[in-house]
Amino acid sequence: MKQINFNDKRILKALLDKSKTTTIRKAWENNCVNCKYFTSFQAEYDDDPYEPDDVGRCDNKLNFGKDISATEYFICKLFEEQYKKDKPCKYKEGEIVEAVWTGGIEAIQDIKDIIGIDDEEDNSEIILGKVKITKIEKIEIGLKFTRIIGEAVYHQGSGNDFNKELAKSEGFESVEEMFEFIEEYSGGLETAKSFYLITWKWLK
């Protein structure tokens, strides 16, 4: 059975009480490793005044967690939008999947008594229950706004009713917290990005 994983403590309470009924997942992936500009621009900037030891942390999927040179990082960010390609949704409407907590040992200790896990077991992953996916939409999200793709209405700011309901179904305490998470998750929202908005119901 497919799994849908969660690891952010900000939504843990909503997962446990099953009030979280949506999740936002990227509708794109970066293809920077195969970018035709990478080698040529690296050579062109060889004499750039970066120190060899200057490094950036690559946050693109294909290089996640890898230390790269400052020159490589500069090039990667400069052409980031050109590296993006559409990513099909992993899930389908009507599909039943397991909701799984993968948020680490510290968080597990916080919740172990609630969900009755055993200290002797391997608790690197905790199955919280099964959900049935009822709807999948594409949503555009930018700095402090959301829009269901295909609709004309832009939902602006923290006082907007749509954004309030979305933050609640996502399991956040506020709209501001939701936007903060999405900005972290997506690597920045200076340019609006598209996501899959996946809605489900918890199964008993």
Give the pLDDT confidence of 58-82 residue by residue, as tens digits.
444 444 444 555 555 555 555 555 5
Give the pLDDT confidence of 82-97 residue by residue, as tens digits.
556 788 999 999 999 9
pLDDT at residue number 44: 46
Domains of the chain: 3-27+87-202 (3.10.400), 30-85 (no CATH)
pLDDT at residue number 76: 57
Write down the pTM of the prediction.
0.73
Measured on CA atoms in the order 113, 97, 92, 30, is the torsion positive or negative?
A: positive
Unique residue bearing structure tokens 């996502």: 170
The arithmetic mean of pLDDT across residues 115-139, rounded, is: 79
Measured on CA atoms in the order 180, 182, 188, 194, is the torsion positive or negative?
A: negative
Is the confidence at residue 142, as pLDDT, over 90?
yes
